[in-house]
């Protein structure tokens, strides 16, 4: 009887593994097709913008806006490629390089220039550390968090965002690599906040606390952040109160070790 149950469980496990493999292969095919379909119009936007820029008698203001279109298209193309690669689960230990988070956050603010100007947002940044990280994923991580801090602002109140980091005792870290220094990075805003009972729900894919009509978005941004942090053997959580702003806390190791990286990939599979 017990042997029969074990055989049934083993068969069920094998079937589940085969089903999961098929789903992942289908997702890979979908991601490839989606990325191609998204990149084709981007290529045309860049092509025609370049043609206009090459013409004579283009006034200075038109040239300025066309260049912004081209730059934004290039960034979108890079983002599509980065997310496509991320979706294929082919991250390796060699992808980790020493990364200056000050440069990453400056690139993020430059990309959000129009939103910052439109909302009159103030962003205060204290010196951030250098860590070993996957740079494209770090860019996406900070872009999502800072853009959310601007998006979920109070009406008629300019966003105020404070970003700081501190080296912390590894023993206080919820998910740690042994004998590695950790940094705790906090991104605090003065926005609308949320009820603390939703502190875990906000990281669930497609989970939205507000309707699309109130705030645009797809509901995947924070779930991507959580996955990026997991790939770096770190953790992310949020503290907030309604109408009192939010703080997103990132806990990231300064370095990555090969054995921990392999265990991380095994757990993430």
For the domain that residue 144 is a member of, what is the CATH number?
A: 3.30.565.10
pLDDT at position 211 is 41
pLDDT at position 86 is 57
pLDDT band at 251 (very low <50, low <70, confident <90, very high): very high
Angle at 25 between CA 22 and CA 28, to 5 degrees: 150
Same domain membership, residue 258 and residue 155: yes
- As for how many domains the chain has, the answer is 2
Does any domain span residue 162?
yes
Same domain membership, residue 253 and residue 142: yes
Domain boundary among 62, 87, 112: 87
> For the stretch 220-242, what's the b/e string if a residue is b when 16 or more beta carbons lie within 10 angstroms of its beta carbon?
ebbbbbbbbbebbbbbbbbebee
The model carries a pTM of 0.65
Nearest to 131 by CA among 268, 260, 250, 269: 250
Q: How much is the average pLDDT of 117-134?
A: 94
* pLDDT per residue as tens digits for the range 27-54: 666 666 666 677 778 888 888 888 888 8
Among all chains, which residue has been given the structure tokens 């705030």? 215
Same domain membership, residue 73 and residue 104: no
Does any domain span residue 116?
yes
Same domain membership, residue 127 and residue 55: no
Number of other CB atoms surrounding residue 209 within 10 Å = 14
- Give the range of the structural domain holding residue 47, as residue numbers without chain letter: 2-87
Same domain membership, residue 135 and residue 46: no
Share of the chain above pLDDT 70, in %: 71
Does any domain span residue 92?
no
Helices of type H across 55-112:
60-87, 101-111
Same domain membership, residue 133 and residue 239: yes
Nearest to 166 by CA among 236, 94, 249: 249
The more confidently predicted of residues 3 and 117 is 117
CA distance 73 to 45: 7
CA distance 210 to 153: 13
Same domain membership, residue 165 and residue 263: yes
CA distance 95 to 143: 20
Same domain membership, residue 205 and residue 158: yes
């Amino acid at each position: 009887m017990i042997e029969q149950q074990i055989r049934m469980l083993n068969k069920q496990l094998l079937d589940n593994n085969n089903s999961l493999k098929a789903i992942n292969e289908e997702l890979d095919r979908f991601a490839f097709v989606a990325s191609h379909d998204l990149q084709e119009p981007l290529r045309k936007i860049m092509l025609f913008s370049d043609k206009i820029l090459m013409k004579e008698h283009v006034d200075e203001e038109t040239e300025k806006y066309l260049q912004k279109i081209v730059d934004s298209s290039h960034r979108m193309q890079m983002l599509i490629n980065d997310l496509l690669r991320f979706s294929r689960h082919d991250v390796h230990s060699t992808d980790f390089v020493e990364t200056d988070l000050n440069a990453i956050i400056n690139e993020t603010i430059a990309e959000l220039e129009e939103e910052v100007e439109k909302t009159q947002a103030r962003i205060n940044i204290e010196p951030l550390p250098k860590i070993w990280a996957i740079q494209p994923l770090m860019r996406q991580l900070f872009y999502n968090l800072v853009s959310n801090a601007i998006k979920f602002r109070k009406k008629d109140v300019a966003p105020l965002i404070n970003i700081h980091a501190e080296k912390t005792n590894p023993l206080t870290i919820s998910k740690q690599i042994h004998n590695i220094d950790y940094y705790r990075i906090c991104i605090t805003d003065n926005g609308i906040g949320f009820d603390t009972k939703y502190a875990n729900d906000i990281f669930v894919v497609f989970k939205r606390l507000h309707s699309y009509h109130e705030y645009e978005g797809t509901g995947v941004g924070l779930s991507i952040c959580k996955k990026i942090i997991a790939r770096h053997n770190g953790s992310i959580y949020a503290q907030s109160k309604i109408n009192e702003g939010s703080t997103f806390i990132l806990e990231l190791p300064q370095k990555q070790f090969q054995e921990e990286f392999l265990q991380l990939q095994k757990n993430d599979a």
